Structure 1
Amino acid sequence: MTPAETTAVLVVGAGPVGLTLALELDRHGVDTVLVERNATSTRHPKMDITNGRSMELYRRLGVADELRKVAIPDGTRTRVTWATNAVGWELARFEYPSVAEQFRLIRERNDGTLPLEPGMRVSQVILEPALREQLETRANAHVHYGWALDDFTEDADGVTAHLISGEAGQSHTVRAQYLVGCDGAGSRTRQQLGIGLDEIDLRGRLVRELGLGRIVKSSIRAYRANGQRPMDGRFYLVHFTTTDTEIRTRFGTVWHLQSPEGWTVISQNDRDTFTMHAPLGIGTDAEKIDPREFVFERLGRRFDIEILVANAWTPRLTVADSFGRGRVWLAGDAVHQVTPTGGYGMNTGVGDAVGLGWVLAAQLQGWGAPGLLTAYAQERRTVALRNRTAAARHTAVRVAIMTNDWTAMHSERWFGEHTRRELGREISDLGNLENEALGIELDYRYDDSPIVCRDPEGHAPPQRMDDYVPSTWPGARPPSVYLGDDRAIFDLFGRGFTLLRFADRDISGLVDAAVRRGVPLDVVDIRDDHAHALYERDLVLIRPDQHVAWRGNAAPTDPLAIVDHIRGAHT
């Protein structure tokens, strides 16, 4: 790095969210410097599923196909299995179609109820380098590893950030018009802004509001009855490889192998790399744990193993009080942390990155008003709170399973078979919504956003966690559908706003208003009865992040007011 440099946007943190934000900014032609305090991409397997909505956004960025090349092969089905241990008895299973099968189903159904892209199984250890490789081909992005944010000063025109290199002991200054902290749960950016965190305490008032208090108390009693130390909220992670075939094939190709004892083993590549997460009991000294023995004890026997990473960690359910202000903004784990159940951490962050990226580009290009940034903070915080509630719900289901008296499940006698049968029935009845909550993934809406135009007709469709009802209600992600000529409608959306015209309507006033304000607008004419019905109106205006900004059956009577509204000038 040079002794000092200038850029439009400085992004701190090169995890998946920071990398995605840099790709989004590059898409809009915005010069970006991305810095990461670590010398390399992460070695820590923090996530293992990129959901369908995130893959739609990666398709929009032109990288979805490249990312799939490093993921689990598209012909592999996904199975979640509950078992006594890795060499014992199966209790219940949930099986899902492969990516290839999902692509076929999306085409066949074509009713807007499914995403354009299926989800993708890939470890963050693999995803980060793949995203970095894509970013390094972009002309507007500059990535520097081994540099951490020390502090920053803000003024009316921008931010001066002071960076330090731990290994070389060097310092560096970057002058940027905007600074974005994607620097994780311990975000130095957030701390310097003085922004606090709203956290759900699993033993506190908010948990009682979610109905989890009884379950937590029951789990403590169950653990004591089973001769185990009650959980203290911590988990122990062991990331390992093995050549053992029985561990890998006892229940077939399994993505998540889970036990009522509370542990989960995640297959990272369906071959030889796994991650175990298991609860720790009160008073357990994590520093004294032998990770090999820790794995052997839970999986049921000893086997060949190489430990890659092992450490204790504490799941959290937090959302920041604010997502930024002025010239400094935040995204990803810097503003929300959730339990792994549901996979909402990184995926929520991908939505943040796209939502913030186009807003920053609008500021820098001169057509966006400050209200866009206010809207970003409001919109994404609402999504973070909703996803936190969903993650807490999924955690409650797992804890409910752990409240059973599961000691007898390891017995070969009649009462062992009886226990296993009862456990399996309860697990099946509780279901596996944490991997099936399509409503959470696709149906997040910005109903109350200050830059979304209200529809005076009709009513907002209900939102459900377990289902997605396609709609173009303002603020929603619109339905994904293939047109009669085999084009995906999402692929017709431009970099700026896109006005979809399904019938002959005079839109010259709206086009002229966009030109007057410098707002980028593409008009796409579609004559397709099926898509028209799904999109519910003759005219639907799509934002750069693929959410509905306005809709109607005729051009607005005051088009300039609509354009000012969607660009944040009337907030």
Structure 2
Amino acid sequence: MSRSTSERNAAPETTSVLVIGAGPVGLTLALELDRHGVDTLVVERNATTTRHPKMDITNGRSMELYRRLDIADELRKVAIPADHPMKVTWATNAAGWELASFEYPSVADAYEQIHRRNDGTLPLEPAMRVSQVILEPALRDALAARSEYVRVDYEWALDSFTEDADGVTAELVSGASGQRRTIRAEYLVGCDGAASRTRRQLGIGLDEIDLRRLFIKELGVVRTVMSVARAFLATGQRPADGRFYLVHFTTGDTEIHRRFGTVWHLQSPEGWTVISQNDGDTWTMHAPLGIGEDADKIDPREFVYQRLGHRFEMDVLVANAWTPRLTVADSFGRGRVWLAGDAVHQVPPTGGYGMNTGVGDAVGLGWVLAALLDGWGMPGLLRAYEQERRAVALRNRAAAGRHSLVRGAVMAASRATMHSERWFGARVRRRLGREISDLGNLENEALGIELGYRYDTSPVVCHESGAQAPPQRMDEYTPSTWPGARPPSVRLADGDAIFDLFGRGFTLVRFDHHDVAGLLDAAAERGVPIEIVDVRDPHARALYQRDLVLIRPDQHVVWRGDAAPEHPLHVIDRIRGAQPAT
């Protein structure tokens, strides 16, 4: 539709940051920008928040970041109640036999464990179970209730943009009315999902790992493929072709809870998972599609009945096919246009790394944009954002792929007789249960992935020479203040959480008195916000490993020492993206 003369001649609206996409990542970025007082417009092409369940857990690190934004308690009000434990159960089907279970504490019990242990090995906040269907409105409402600087407009999509040295001019179009509007922003951020129009206009490609080829390579090539095919054919099903079918539904049926207790995930060696979204009446099933199976001809109810093993009344909310992907963008942006969330990385749901990685992107990019707009940040911060977050995305992609391979290994086991009530059926079930228990459930236990990521090679971190960096493991988190790391979470002797003492700018945690006037003067000269927090707590000092630890706005260590730096101005210029320290 062509623009009217009045539309073409109207002066563009202006904002400091234009965010494309009001999913969890876009809304989290808006909350971060609001925290720093940045004028922001968020636009979303859909009429309202998502109807698709997508993610179902917000991990401990994301909850720490939401606590930092002062909304963690608000979000928990709409999540699964704090006294509900988490249980992952493998079974033949919903009316069949249990094969193996993995049980985890409730939020309330996890808080007690965190307080009792207090050794830096656990997050400050436990994970939170909540569907994206519920989380998105909660983030939107929290933003509306507190924001002085952010506006969210629905039913507006990005059509195109042009960039110049001073900013970006974006053309938006309304899907409802066809109206157009022009926005002039200093920065544009695409949080517009896997099919990101922003990324495509930038011409940024995707590095993708083919999950099916990964299965074939890692699980035994021909032998595994043939065993899976035989097992499917024995049950009258077609071998999977890499696609999945999602059915999001409500039901008053209690068979799953009656048979297995209150489960979070019920999983089958046949490849399907059914997720309890509220420990009550709302569920989501993901199940593999067979080769050549036409998703458009599937009856969602029959699809669920066949896999769960019994019939019941249900209301289908959403049903569609989807394909899991393991992708990371070749670049996270350039100049005045940047990307975050699914626009730059997509992973299968195993491990819950999709949205949670995006939350880290949003906070990491938000403080950087605020620093640039405030005048003390330099362009090196944006280069660092890409380097830091792309490395995390690659690491998390590898972890998600690993977790998917574990599920593939379970699918590759012989399942033809696991439903039998005869003696050999029981033998197959015992063997499957042992194999599942041996493979474990790292996808819900990988604290090393959630807490242990470090910006080891970041150009805005003061690196140490001559020392050995702590190990980085997927299955284990080692507390450390190694430059680039998230520092350990610990409660001080007076009960305060040390994370709660970190400010909006840089925080210098000082465990012993050292004269740091030179560092403060250098920060003042460059306009870098920095405050000192004096802590006299031997236990915290031992965990923090140095007398002085400098934390940046997103709660990562940028410098540490047992004395003030010899060249404080070089340190300040390094951490604000201006030049390397010497």
- What is the TM-score when the length of structure 1 is the normalising length? 0.98
Q: Which residue of 2 aligns with 1:113?
A: 121
Give, in whole Å, the separation in 2 of the partners of 1:185 and 1:418: 44
Instruction: Call closer, same or farther: CA 1:399–1:345 in 2, change over 3 Å.
Output: same
Q: Which residue of 2 aligns with 1:296?
A: 305
Give, in whole Å, the separation in 2 of the partners of 1:209 and 1:286: 27
Contact 1:500 1:523 in 2 (8 A): yes
1:77 matched to 2:85? The reply is: yes
Once the 2 structures are TM-superposed, how far is the Cα of residue 221 of structure 1 from its aligned partner? 5.0
1:517 matched to 2:531? The reply is: no
1:331 matched to 2:314? The reply is: no
| Matching of residues 143-542 of structure 1 within 5 Å | 143-204=152-213, 213=221, 218-224=227-233, 226-542=235-551
Unaligned stretches of 5+ in structure 2?
1-6
Give, in whole Å, the separation in 2 of the partners of 1:429 and 1:320: 34
Q: Which residue of 2 aligns with 1:33?
A: 41
CA distances 1:238-278 after superposition (whole Å, capped 9, x unpaired)? 00000112233321100000000000000000000000000
For residue 49 of structure 2, what is the amino acid of its counterpart? Answer: S
Contact 2:219 2:409 in 1 (8 A): no
Instruction: Call closer, same or farther: CA 1:303–1:110 in 2, change over 3 Å.
Output: same
Once the 2 structures are TM-superposed, how far is the Cα of residue 5 of structure 1 from its aligned partner? 1.2
Give, in whole Å, the separation in 1 of the partners of 2:75 and 2:229: 42
Give, in whole Å, the separation in 1 of the partners of 2:22 and 2:403: 29
Contact 1:199 1:318 in 2 (8 A): yes
- Matched positions, count: 570
Give, in whole Å, the separation in 2 of the partners of 1:216 and 1:159: 50
Once the 2 structures are TM-superposed, how far is the Cα of residue 133 of structure 1 from its aligned partner? 0.2
Give, in whole Å, the separation in 2 of the partners of 1:210 and 1:453: 38
Once the 2 structures are TM-superposed, how far is the Cα of residue 225 of structure 1 from its aligned partner? 5.2
Contact 1:29 1:140 in 2 (8 A): yes
Give, in whole Å, the separation in 1 of the partners of 2:114 and 2:88: 22
SS in 1 for 2:211: coil
Q: Which residue of 1 aligns with 2:54?
A: 46
Q: Which residue of 2 aligns with 1:21?
A: 29
Once the 2 structures are TM-superposed, how far is the Cα of residue 456 of structure 1 from its aligned partner? 2.7
Q: Which runs of 4+ in 1 moved over 2 A?
A: 1-4, 206-228
For residue 42 of structure 1, what is the amino acid of its counterpart? Answer: T
CA distances 1:380-437 after superposition (whole Å, capped 9, x unpaired)? 0000000000000000000000011112111111011111111111100100000000
Give, in whole Å, the separation in 1 of the partners of 2:434 and 2:216: 27
Once the 2 structures are TM-superposed, how far is the Cα of residue 223 of structure 1 from its aligned partner? 3.0
Q: Which residue of 1 aligns with 2:106?
A: 98
Unaligned stretches of 5+ in structure 1?
none
Give, in whole Å, the separation in 2 of the partners of 1:407 and 1:440: 35
Contact 1:216 1:399 in 2 (8 A): no
Once the 2 structures are TM-superposed, how far is the Cα of residue 220 of structure 1 from its aligned partner? 4.0
Instruction: Call closer, same or farther: CA 1:3–1:64 in 2, change over 3 Å.
Output: farther
From 549, 556, 564, the counterpart of 1:547: 556
Once the 2 structures are TM-superposed, how far is the Cα of residue 194 of structure 1 from its aligned partner? 0.1
Contact 2:218 2:405 in 1 (8 A): no
Instruction: Call closer, same or farther: CA 1:211–1:29 in 2, change over 3 Å.
Output: farther
For residue 497 of structure 1, what is the amino acid of its counterpart? Answer: F
Q: Which residue of 1 aligns with 2:577?
A: 568
Once the 2 structures are TM-superposed, how far is the Cα of residue 224 of structure 1 from its aligned partner? 4.2
SS in 2 for 1:219: helix
SS in 2 for 1:118: coil
Q: Which residue of 1 aligns with 2:4?
A: none
For residue 565 of structure 1, what is the amino acid of its counterpart? Answer: R
For residue 278 of structure 1, what is the amino acid of its counterpart? Answer: A
Once the 2 structures are TM-superposed, how far is the Cα of residue 458 of structure 1 from its aligned partner? 2.6
Contact 1:219 1:399 in 2 (8 A): no
Once the 2 structures are TM-superposed, how far is the Cα of residue 237 of structure 1 from its aligned partner? 0.2
Give, in whole Å, the separation in 2 of the partners of 1:492 and 1:329: 30
For residue 47 of structure 1, what is the amino acid of its counterpart? Answer: M
- What is the TM-score when the length of structure 2 is the normalising length? 0.96
CA distances 1:34-93 after superposition (whole Å, capped 9, x unpaired)? 000000000000100000000000000000000000000000000000011111111100
Q: CA RMSD in A?
A: 1.5
From 133, 137, 160, the counterpart of 1:129: 137
Give, in whole Å, the separation in 2 of the partners of 1:207 and 1:362: 44
Contact 1:200 1:207 in 2 (8 A): no
Contact 1:238 1:276 in 2 (8 A): yes
Instruction: Call closer, same or farther: CA 1:345–1:168 in 2, change over 3 Å.
Output: same
Contact 1:87 1:246 in 2 (8 A): yes
Contact 2:215 2:408 in 1 (8 A): no
